[in-house]
Every structure is written in C-alpha cells, then in structure tokens.
Amino acid sequence: MKILLTNDDGYESDGLELLHVAISKICKDLHVMAPSGERSTSGHSLTLNKPLRVKNYGKNKNHCTGFPADCVLLSLGHFHKGNLPDLVISGINKGANLAQDIYYSATVGGAREAVFHGVKGIAVSLACKFLVEDQNFHFDTAAHITKLFVEAGISDILAPKTLLNINIPNTDLSEIKGIKLTNLGFRKYSEEIEKRVDGRDRDYYWIVGKLEGHEDIDNSDCQAILDGYVSVSLLPVIIGDKVNLEKLQKLIEVLNQGFS
C-alpha cells in the first residue's frame, strides 16, 4: 500500500511527525508533501498566480510553498504521476474540524483534493482548544487511532468521491470511550470583529469570534467529541454519491471492541 501524508499546520508540526511515525509502522511506501508553513483556514485554495517551490527534508519527505490542496495536486499530478497513492491522509490538525468548520478547513481541503483525482482521502484532527498553547496535545492518541483505521482497511471501504473526516478528543488513549459514526453539527460563534488602531493611527480589524457551543442536532460530531468519543463523518464530494454505511459501521464496531 502506498500512502501520502499532508497537513495544514506545516511540515514541522508535531501532528504530522507523530502521524508519520505511526503509519510508517504499517506502510513501507510512505510519502509526505506538506506546506512549508502554516496554512490554517485556507480551505481548498490553490496557487495559480505564482510558482510552487518544493524542498526535500528527508527520505520521501518534501514541503511545498503552497496550500494543502496544492501539495496533493502537485504530488498526484507530478511526483506520483502514473503511480498514485492508495490513500491520502491529511493531518493531524491542531484543532477540531467539526460542523460547518469543514468548509474553512485546509486539512479537509487536502483530503478532498485527493478525492477529486480518484484517490481515497481522510482528514484527521485533534479536537484541542484553538489557539491555546498552554495545554497538552495528545497527537499520539490521534495517530494511534488513525493507524487503527488504516490497518482495518478503511481505504477499501470508502466509496469513490467520498472522504472521511475523523476528529479525536484531546485526551489520553485510555480515556477514549469509543468511536461514533456521526452527522455534521452546527457550531455557534460570537462572530465578533474588533476594530483597533496601529502605531501610525490607521484602523485595522481582527476576527475574534469565540465558540459558544453547538446546536442540538441528533448524533452530531460536536456532541460526540464533547462526550469523549472519536467522531467519524462521511463527507460526499459529489451529492448523491453512494456510500457503503453498512460496511463502515461494521468496521467501527470492530474497532470499538478495543475501547470496551
């Protein structure tokens, strides 16, 4: 099996490195193409008005000046042209990608770009507190759970034009209650805009909206994370694409035996 890793936090992120360590234990043909720096909340952006530059930083490891979608498109269209990977994993993102946030997410954008080209895609995020550095980041938990999904054959279950969005609670592995197949929820933000003045007496603005909870939607990804469960959501790239929910549910049931 051939797997490509990308992310939106940059090639030096702990999440990507621990994911690489975990997946390398079960995949010998493992590659990385990640952004040269952080590209959070850039969605599915592509770089069309300037060149992309790539640098190698280890065996089968490269970083690119573009966005996550650029990284995947560049990999599939050039570096792995004619020998495409079986699976693209985008992550592990520092912060949740739940509910409507998937439309801002460059982590999801990287996985979605793979699906556009007929390659299975998975987005993986650690549901830690956004922009709070004074906390423990359990990327090891997220990496282990991602490895479980790959070992269980998730790439064989995913339907064409469908990607998997996985969110993992930011806790020790022993505290994970299990895995749930969820629906997209809806998060509530204050949507505040702060007007400030710089040193030259010019106005500028910060988007500083804070999370205020989520709507009460049945079996939502937001509630699963709050309850201590791994959230697994299927995101159809093309509306109406057939998804084998029965096979995915059976796989999740098998994996849940390890958390009982």
Domain positions in the chain are 2-185+216-256
Nearest alpha-carbon partner for 166 in 233, 75, 228, 217: 233
Token pair for 18: 């621990």
End-to-end CA distance of the chain: 30
Average pLDDT over every residue of 124-147: 90
130 or 155: which leads in pLDDT? 155
Mapped onto helix, strand or coil, the DSSP state of residue 216 is coil
Write down the mean pLDDT value for the chain.
93
> Distance between CA 249 and CA 260 in Å, rounded?
16
Is the overall model pTM greater than 0.85, yes or no?
yes
Nearest alpha-carbon partner for 165 in 224, 242, 214, 117: 224
> Distance between CA 115 and CA 165 in Å, rounded?
13
| β partners of residue 194 | 206
Q: Is 183 exposed, middle or buried (0-12, 13-18, 19+ CB in 10 A)?
A: middle
pLDDT score at 256: 95
pLDDT score at 236: 78
Q: What is the pLDDT of residues 29-70, one digit of tens each?
A: 999 999 999 999 999 999 999 999 999 999 999 999 999 999
Asked if the model's pLDDT at residue 239 lies above 60, the reply is: no
Element (H, E) at 110: helix 106-116
Q: Kindly state which CATH superfamily the domain 2-185+216-256 is placed in.
A: Survival protein SurE-like phosphatase/nucleotidase (3.40.1210.10)
Asked if the model's pLDDT at residue 242 lies above 90, the reply is: no
Q: What is the pLDDT of residues 153-175, one digit of tens each?
A: 999 989 888 899 999 999 999 99
69 or 248: which leads in pLDDT? 69
193 or 237: which leads in pLDDT? 193
pLDDT score at 245: 78
pLDDT band at 243 (very low <50, low <70, confident <90, very high): low
pLDDT score at 238: 63
Nearest alpha-carbon partner for 88 in 36, 154, 148, 44: 154
Instruction: Let me know: does 157 contact 251? Beta carbons within 8 Å.
Output: yes
Q: What is the pLDDT of residues 170-217, one digit of tens each?
A: 999 999 999 999 999 999 988 899 999 999 999 999 988 888 899 999
Phi, psi of 121 (to 5 degrees): -130, 140
Average pLDDT over every residue of 67-74: 98
